[in-house]
Structure 1
Amino acid sequence: MAADRDDLERIRQAVNLVELFEGVTTVRKVRGSFKALCPFHTEKTPSLSIDPARGLYHCFGCGVGGDVFTFVQETQGLSFVEAMEMLADRAGIVVRRDPRAAQQRERRSRLVEAVAAAGRYYQDRLKSAPDAGHARSYVRGRNYGVEVVDQFELGYAPDQSEALVSHLRSKGHKDSDILAAGLARRVGRGRLIDQMRGRLMFPIHNVRGEMVGFGARLLRGEGPKYLNTPETPLYKKSELLYGLDKARSAISREELGVVVEGYTDVIAFHLADLPLAVATCGTALGEAHFDLLRRFSSRIVLAFDADTAGAGAAVRGDELRISSNLDLELRLAVMPDGRDPADLVFDDKGDLLREAIDRSAPIMEFRISRLLDQYDLGEREARTSAMKKAAELIARHPDAADRYQHAYYVAGRTRTSIDRVQAEISRNTPTGRGGRSQGRPLADGQPAAARSAASSEMDRSEEDSLRHLLAGTAERDRVRPELFEHDLAAALARWLLDAGRHLDKGVPVPLDGLKDQPLLALARRLAVLTTPLDPFADVVSNLERRAAVRRRDEILVTLEDIDHENDPEAYSELSKELLALQERGF
């Protein structure tokens, strides 16, 4: 860390968050609290709340939130260290610096300059070097004019072992920096040779616009079609998205981001006047990528070509859990005619890209539809098999309300009763905390969890319990994470209980140590709520009642699946527990 924790707190206390917001948007004081038009999305009615006492803000329209440092980072495009330095100067605070952090910043700066120098060298080679003629032919063949080459800084790595290394040395860059930046590698007795040779170069930038690495396409000969810069202090492929530096403003403005398969697909979207596309850099989509995208939009479309392999690759991972945890609307668009975006734009069919995005479907809906299409639903046995397979898929969805909606769709397609589909989903749904099943069909055919999730993201009692924990007004020994039905609420309760275990009652829990971004966003949102807070005793009693009802429903589901003749002991234990709950009025 570049500054002492005490200095960070001094800055936080000295800087008026309301004044910061007044510099970029309209702020009004409403009944003792501050409301503002959110500068992070377009709105006519103020939906952003500011808590100057705690130095926190949260927008109830787009979900962004943070503290004074986050605000400066997001509005000025600065790193945390840069934001801290700016705020320290504003407040007149002299920061006690960590000498190691200063050294690390200096080294990082050298690596960034080395990569940028390599990028300039590659681009110059592409434009004029005699040995880059075939690369220029390839670029012209993609209909990339000079403006595209300049916008995306395309280049060519000569097919020589030490061309880049020699150039960078002549510019004063040290071998250690060239190596650490991933621009070269050692061979033989330690000789340094270029990392990329004989390839078209696609510079990769971080979200701040710094060039940090390259994607490299083979143009002739044998070898992997694409290579990427190896992992370096600058280049971490799990945290980078090609094109995000150029698309971030449009994504935020349109409230829509598009993930495509390759670098040329990103360029194609720009050529089609849809600068919304990004691509991963030689790795599969992961949680860090989605977390990066959600800074700019909660609506993400995965756009792939029409073949099953391409579409399937997008939906085999952990996207359902991730999108739910990060509160993302994740959709999938299939490109028409079996073409990828680059091919469509090359054939002057860029208008089809927008049509494909507009026709995108929620990712689970896409998967279920694809699965059912594999069966002849005119046959009774096929419908049963399809229903069971679809139920297995739906059971993996983390949101009960969505599971219920998908169950209705499957029931209609397979001509099966909703109760039977729900029962099949229940048998496949992983049990949650305390072993409860989350898909139990009740009298009206809808699970209790689905009704709760459908009406609001989090129950009022859960929100109020967390607000009491945040404010230090809860009786901590009465709060248990398993009382919460919402997984994010349970996780935040667990963290708050641990962080506040040594604090006196009435002392708010500081959020400095909370590193999990979804939890931090939730905590900040709750911290700025101004709605009346119910007494803690009433809130926790309601949580306990709801937990008892959930346990009752879980036991009922489990008893249906137990063969009491083959497992009489388990059946008896559960029956006793159920009787005890019923005697308590549940």
Structure 2
Amino acid sequence: MSGKIPKYFINDLLYRTNIVDLINTRIKLKKKGRNYQTNCPFHHDKTPSFTVSFEKQFYYCFGCNIHGNAIDFLINYENLTFIESIEELALIHGLLIPFEKNIISEKNDYFKKQKLYLLTDQISKLYQKNVILTNSACEYLIQRGISKNMMKYFYIGFSSFTWDLFSKKLNIKKEFEKELLDYKIISINKNNQIYDSFQGRIIFPIHDKYGRTVGFGGRTIKNISPKYINSTETNIFYKSEQIYGLYQVKKKNSKPKYLLVVEGYIDVIILTQNKIDYVVSSLGTSITKEQVKILFRNTDTVIYCYDGDNAGKNAAWRTLKITLPYISDKKTVKFIILPENEDPDTIIKKEGAENFQIRIQNALTMSKFFFKNILKGIDLSSNDDKFYLSVRALPLINCISSDTIRIYLRQILARIIGILDDYQFEKFLHQKKNNNKVLQYKSKQTQMQTLIALLVQNPNLSNLVTSINKFKHSKIKGIPIFLEILKTCLENPKFNTGQLLEFYRDSKIINILKTLSTLDHMIVEDKIQPMFLDLLKSIYKKNLEKRQEYLLAKERTNGLTIHEKKEIWSINKKIKNS
């Protein structure tokens, strides 16, 4: 890699960089003698064992032995590649990377990224100008209660209903238009017309930590589906790694005490307008582990506040499960449960900022929220239910890195079950595990179970299956049930899950369907269709591989007919192309 970026430039970057300042902007260091110390960010560290030397421009952990320079720290802490860490340091110092002449791809990628930053920023400014020139957009924002100051603070814009209208109104030059097309910021539709995917939408620019515009969220001002869309991913925008509003929060406070995570762009803006200036959004209901890491890099306490509908409640529970591995003695989460059919935007308008602050102060601790949810539907007078509770709770508890928190939650679980002695608790779990096959089935999800569960929970997915014939003679366990349900869904295209279960009420498979109808597959709504298709493809490939194995075994013993030889050739081709 050093041959691709000149060594002198890398050395110059490290010379210019003070590793203490670099690390201190991310984790708080304390001076101790000639060095600086803190708890290690790379493992669960009870006492400070992470040491940073100003003199050596080097860090080292005496606990996990991780070590390195400023570049290594960015690679390990920010999950960057080597090139990205060089870009990060170069950006801090306002330098361009002088790639060697014979290295084409890295140089091109780097300058393409810089050009993409520039174009995204330029069109963002045009969107901002356009919102002022468009009455319907201004009226929508005013009606939502967003002030002009907030429009400026969050750089809110608007994309006109057609590109021609937008282009003429803002005098966009053909050369700039061509660049936008080349970088796929706008596109050409089937009618050979230039098209902006955000047209007719309020634009919410998404910024990185340096304030660069990396992408956009768009909200329709008419009854157009979907209500919200985001930019497609580019080499500067990855939705799973972006936090909306974090740049604005950090402008006011580099290390906020809390970060309040809400679902929507407007929720962030309205709460900020009401002096709650530590609000961010994960760009939707589903948070990712990358976003959790970013949140905890910027604060020690994350407060999740989701909408009061069922989707919001389910999202909050999924979020806790994703967050658990990142909780420690110093890093924690809380939850705000809003009333039914309320979101942060509506409730702060009804109750006022002071009452919303009270909700924040009274947010449920992680442990209370955890047991509130995991106890749903549990009959504590039933030993089977107590065991089922343990089967569900313990894997989640055990993924927490902190020994203290794990022990604390296990003790609460034992008290709920009614066992105060640790030995008796372990004995109870061991005895029940050996004689409870149903719960063992519930705790394991095969591909086929997930596939059928998705279909039972979303019968309209049946329309995505283009051919049933290729599964008809499959030997894979569960295929007959899948095909049976698929046939029913296709014959009854308006069926929902309740209707499907009712259809099979007195059948032999009703208990299986009931179980799968409540299976927590942990797949977010916008990923259900792609996951369903991926599972179909995977199972079809597995089916081909089983047939391939059978034919290969037969060839070694009895030989194959001409028809079977053609079949195995066809299977090999299909597997290769799958």
TM-score, reference length from structure 1: 0.58
CA distance in 2, matches of 1:22, 1:134: 47
One-letter amino acid of the structure 2 residue matched with residue 202 of structure 1: F
Aligned to 1:361: 364
Please name the residue that 1:396 is paired with.
396
- Which consecutive residues of structure 2, in runs of 5 or more, have no partner in the other structure? 42-47, 78-83, 434-578
| Distance in 1 of aligned mates of 2:152 and 2:378 | 50
Q: Please, which of 322, 330, 335 is the counterpart of residue 333 of structure 2?
A: 330
Whichever residue aligns with residue 132 of structure 2, its letter is K
Give the deviation of 1:191 after TM superposition: 4.0
Q: For 1:46-61, what aligned pairs fall within 5 Å after superposition?
A: 49-52=51-54, 55-57=57-59
Report if the CA contact (8 A) 2:263-2:284 is conserved: no
8 A Cα contact 2:202 2:221, kept in partner: yes
Q: Secondary structure at the match of 2:219?
A: strand
Aligned equivalent of 1:136: 138
Corresponding residue number in structure 2 for 1:435: none
Indicate conservation of the 8 Å contact 2:289/2:323, yes or no: no
> Is the Cα–Cα contact under 8 Å of residues 238 and 283 in structure 1 kept in the other structure?
no
The residue correspondences of 1:64-75 to structure 2 (distance < 5 A) are 67-69=69-71
Structure-2 change in CA distance of 1:252 and 1:120 (3 Å): closer
Alpha-carbon contact 2:203-2:217 (below 8 Å) kept? yes
Matches within 5 A, 1:514-525: none
Task: Determine if contact 2:306/2:315 at 8 Å carries over to the other structure.
Answer: no
Is 1:315 the counterpart of 2:320 in the alignment?
no
SS state of the match for residue 175, structure 2? coil
Distance 1:320 1:426 in 2: 28
Distance change >3 Å, CA 372–CA 228, structure 1 → 2: same
Q: Match for residue 110 of structure 2?
A: 105
Query: How far apart are the structure 1 equivalents of 2:24 and 2:220?
Result: 49
Q: 1:343 aligns with which of 341, 346, 357?
A: 346
Contact 2:333 2:365 in 1 (8 A): yes
Letter in 1 for 2:313: A
Given that 1:111 and 1:180 are in contact with CA atoms closer than 8 Å, whether structure 2 keeps it comes out as no
Aligned ranges 1:33-48 → 2 under 5 Å: 33-35=34-36
**Equivalent of residue 130 in structure 2, options 121, 125, 134:** 125
Relative distance call for 1:71 and 1:251 in structure 2 (3 A) is farther
Distance 1:164 1:395, change over 3 A: same
The 1:370–1:282 alpha-carbon spacing in structure 2 relative to 1, beyond 3 Å, is: closer
Distance 1:162 1:27, change over 3 A: same
Deviation string for 1:62-119 (max 9, x for gaps)? xx99733588999xxxx744554489999xx998575544433332232222222222
Seen in structure 2, the aligned counterparts of structure 1 residues 12 and 150 have a Cα distance that, compared at 3 Å, is closer
The 1:256/1:102 distance shift into structure 2, 3 A limit, reads same
Task: Summarize the Cα distance change of 1:174–1:155 in structure 2 as closer, same or farther, 3 Å threshold.
Answer: closer
Deviation at 1:263, TM superposition (A): 0.6
The 8 Å contact of residues 38 and 51 in structure 2, kept in 1 or not, is answered as no
The answer for the alignment partner of 2:210 in structure 1 is 208
1:370 aligns with 2:373: yes
Instruction: Give the Cα–Cα distance (whole angstroms) in 1 for the partners of residues 216 and 232 of structure 2.
Output: 9
- 2:163/2:199 contact within 8 Å kept: yes
**Compared CA separation, residues 237 and 428, structure 1 to 2 (3 A):** farther
The aligned runs of 1:407-418 (5 Å cut-off) are: 407-418=410-421
SS in 1 for 2:52: strand
Q: TM-score, structure 2 length as denominator? A: 0.59
Provide Cα deviations, 1:24-69, integer angstroms capped at 9, x if missing partner. 9999672xx423799x9xxxxx998323575324799xxx997335
Shift of 1:226: 0.8
Q: Which residue of 2 aligns with 1:492?
A: none
- Deviation of residue 421 (structure 1)? 4.2
Unaligned runs of 5+ in 1: 41-45, 430-586
Match of 1:295 in 2: 297
Identify if the C-alpha distance between structure 1 residues 386 and 52 changes in structure 2 by more than 3 Å, giving closer, same or farther. Answer: same
Q: Show the counterpart of 1:150.
A: 152
Partner of 2:227: 225
Instruction: Count residues with an aligned counterpart.
Output: 408
CA distance in 1, matches of 2:23, 2:326: 33
1:387–1:411 contact (8 Å) kept in structure 2: no
Match of 1:559 in 2: none
Q: Secondary structure at the match of 1:214?
A: strand
> Letter of the aligned partner of 1:243 in structure 2?
G
Partner Cα separation in structure 1 for residue 91 and residue 346 of structure 2:
46
The one-letter code matched in structure 2 to 1:199 is R
Structure 1 pair 288/326, CA: closer, same or farther in 2 (3 Å)?
A: farther
Deviation per residue, 1:350-400 (Å, 9 max, x gap): 2233323333334454132233254465xx23x762563244223332135
Q: Distance in 2 between the 1:306 and 1:277 partners? A: 18
1:159-308 aligned within 5 A: 159-164=161-166, 169-170=172-173, 172-175=175-178, 177-179=179-181, 181-188=183-190, 191-249=193-251, 252-282=254-284, 284-308=286-310
Aligned mates of 2:326, 2:30 — CA distance in 1: 32
User: Sequence identity of aligned pairs in percent?
Assistant: 19
- Code of the residue aligned with 1:410 in structure 2: it is L
Question: What is the identity, as a one-letter code, of the residue corresponding to 1:118?
Answer: I
Q: Please give the secondary structure, in 2, of the residue aligned with 1:245.
A: helix
Q: Which has the higher contact order (CA 8 A, sep 6+)?
A: 1
